[in-house]
Structure 1
Amino acid sequence: MNSTENPSRTVQDDFKDAFLKNFIVFFLGLAINCINGIFVFIFSRSTFFYMESRYILYIHLVINDMIMLSISVALHVIVYAAPLVNVSVCCILLVVGTMTTRNTPMSLAGMAVERYIAICKPLRHSQICTVRRTYMLILLIWCVTFIPGLADIIILFLTRPITIFTSKILCYSLAIFNTSYHLNKAIVEYALFLSFVWITLIYTYLRVFFAAKTATTDAVSAKKAQNTILLHGVQLLFCMMSYITPVLDLILVPLFPNDRTKILFSTFLLTNILPRLLTPLIYGIRDQKFVAYIKKYFSMCTVKVKPVKT
């Protein structure tokens, strides 16, 4: 998980630069979480959303992004405020962070499959995409993404002395999970995860695309589902950028050594912070029911705070 910048940059940043970077990261993180929090609040206030699998999957993605963003911001601030962190605490933060990172593409795949069933198998949608099965899918996603994190801890336990868990270290993935076993596992893991998700998105997009051409399918709904899956692909591309951040840093930093800290900070924002804005923009704001409920609750709040004329 690339949720923090390279900690070595803290040596080069003066107080003004460090404060400005942390302020920007904290402000953006807080703003994005507030936006996502609105959708969580709207979801919690209506029983209608509880009965629809698509909204359950969406709000799971929103909450997952909020957790991931909170950990990313926390680790970024910790790098500057208290660089040395207990290894046990760091491992917990990194494992939860990597789980939420992997959850995003898996959740996108699940949401694409749900849209495919709704358009291509509308008569069976209510039978297949039940609320119970939706929560089972979410549980399965968390279990599947927890296994690689647990494997990292087990490898660390087998290859390092037990005293490492009581020591302190700079808290980022490559500082702890840096053995050849970890690196090989990460390559295989990312290849399997991303291949599965891309195959799922491409398959569901093509099926919905061809379904939109048939006379028996609601063309408007099919087109919306087609656009949604396509936007999921765009969102996945941004998610994949976090995997290539180290490569970008290795390429750009030698070319512009004087701008090293700016490059590292920019790639961190572009690949870890700003993509979290896509979830409410792609799915929430485009959904008419969510927008209607948001307008309803905001209008109610406006009425409540409106001063009484005397």
Structure 2
Amino acid sequence: MMANNSSVISGGFPAKRISNQVVIVQVFIGVFLSINLFLISTFFRKEVFYTTVRYILFAVTLLSDCLFLIMTNSLLVSTYFGFTIHIWLCFVLYIILAVYTFVTPLTLTAMTLERYVAICMPLRHAELCTMRGALQLILIIHGLGAVPCTVTLYIFFALVSPTFYSRSRVCSVETFILSGWQGHVRSAISQFYFLTLYGMNFYFMRKKIFYPSFGILGGSLEYINQKMCPPPAPPPDFGLLPQSNKML
């Protein structure tokens, strides 16, 4: 016999059927990973890419997205089929995923700041945006990305006993949320990060880069139009009409 979504294999263990949704997710993840890997390979082919800060930060976002896609897809498949793992292994996976959830938006904000320095402070761009500075910035990004995970796990450690780590469960983020207020704290931290990063991007991109650039561009276009299309000259005045009126 077989159920609606499972069958029995030769060993007597239930094997769950693969739904169309899971197959579609695998196809999309394969496409996204292929695009990211192609961009990463392009990044390492040219020296100008891996020696420029903005391209290094872009490569960090690509690597972060690839790692995040691979690990979340693995957890999706394991959860779908009901595979259980030890809590300590789930703990390691949760730390990695929780950190890289925030690495990409933090890196995009850092890219915005780098463009702000390049456009608004061009004379100091070579001094501030160096390879050493890029490495320090990447470490700061990962440190900031680990703050929400640290808060969540600190609360989790205070609530569970040491024997909890020897158990086996289906790995998910809900494993580390033991009460409702923990979920509220986690949501509040995520919303704080979102509003802060959105505000920084809006401030630097709109007010500090876009609006001054449009003003400069508008003035330049007006100057070019004046040079290329000068206003029409007034008609010549030969001084004959007043004399002819006197003669008449």
Match of 1:212 in 2: 213
8 Å contact from structure 2 (residues 6, 17) kept in 1:
yes
- In structure 1, the residue corresponding to 2:48 is in which secondary structure? helix
Moved more, 185-194 or 195-204: 185-194
Q: Once the 2 structures are TM-superposed, how far is the Cα of residue 149 of structure 1 from its aligned partner?
A: 1.7
1:154 Cα deviation from its structure 2 partner:
2.7
Name the CA distance, whole Å, in 1 between partners of 2:163 and 2:40. Answer: 42
Output the CA distance in 1 between the equivalents of 2:17 and 2:220: 53
Residue pairs, 1:181-196, within 5 angstroms = 182-196=182-196
Native 8 Å contact 1:119 1:217 kept in 2:
no
In 1, the alpha carbon distance for the partners of 2:209 and 2:86 equals: 49
Q: Give the counterpart letter for 2:213 in structure 1.
A: A
Relative to structure 1, the CA distance from residue 115 to residue 13 in structure 2 (aligned partners, 3 Å threshold; closer, same or farther) is farther
Q: For the residues of structure 2 that align with 1:50 and 1:108, how far apart are their CA atoms?
A: 17
User: Quick check: 1:61–1:104 contact (8 Å CA) kept in 2?
Assistant: yes
The CA deviation at 1:22 is 2.8
User: Structure 2 length normalisation: TM-score?
Assistant: 0.76
Q: CA deviation at 1:14?
A: 4.8
Deviations 1:83-109 (A, max 9, x none): 322111112112211111111211111
**Contact 2:78 2:170 survives alignment (8 Å):** no
Q: Does the 8 Å CA contact 2:156/2:178 hold for their aligned counterparts?
A: no
1:73 aligns with 2:73: yes
The Cα offsets for residues 31-74 of structure 1, whole Å up to 9 and x where unpaired, read as 21111001111111221112211100100000000011111100
Aligned residues: 210
Partner of residue 53, structure 1: 53
Quote the residue 2:28 is aligned against. 28
Question: Contact 1:68–1:100 (CA<8 Å) still a contact in 2?
Answer: yes
Q: Which has the larger displacement, 211-220 or 85-94?
A: 211-220
For 1:33, the aligned partner's letter is L
Q: Deviations over 1:152-210 (max 9, x none)?
A: 23322210111111111221112332334522431331132112101111111221112
Runs of 4+ residues over 4 Å off in structure 1:
11-17, 216-220
Higher RCO by CA contacts (8 Å cutoff, separation 6 or greater): 1
Contact 2:152 2:186 in 1 (8 A): no
Matches within 5 A, 1:1-310: 13-14=5-6, 18-180=18-180, 182-206=182-206, 207-215=208-216
Q: Does the C-alpha gap of structure 1 residues 142 and 217 become closer, same or farther in structure 2, counting only changes over 3 Å? A: farther
Whether the aligned pair in 2 keeps the contact of 1:64 and 1:103 (CA below 8 Å) is yes
Task: Please give the secondary structure, in 1, of the residue aligned with 2:18.
Answer: helix
The amino acid of 2:148's aligned partner reads: P
Instruction: Describe the SS at the equivalent of 2:85.
Output: strand
Partner of 1:299 in structure 2? none
Residues 103 and 145, structure 1, Cα contact 8 Å, conserved in 2: yes
What's the TM-score, normalizing by structure 1? 0.62
Give 1:138 shift.
0.9
TM-superposed deviation, 1:17: 5.8
Q: Indicate the RMSD between aligned Cα atoms, in angstroms.
A: 2.6
C-alpha contact 1:212 1:218 (8 A) present in aligned 2 = no
In structure 1, list runs of 5 or more residues that go unmatched. 1-10, 221-310
Q: Secondary structure at the match of 1:51?
A: coil
> % of aligned pairs identical?
23
Contact 2:54 2:111 in 1 (8 A): yes
C-alpha distance in structure 2 between counterparts of 1:73 and 1:120, whole Å: 41
1:303 paired residue number: none
**Whole-Å Cα distance in 1 between the matches of residues 5 and 79 of structure 2?**
12
Unmatched 5+ stretches in structure 2: 8-15, 222-248
1:39–1:184 Cα change, 3 Å: same
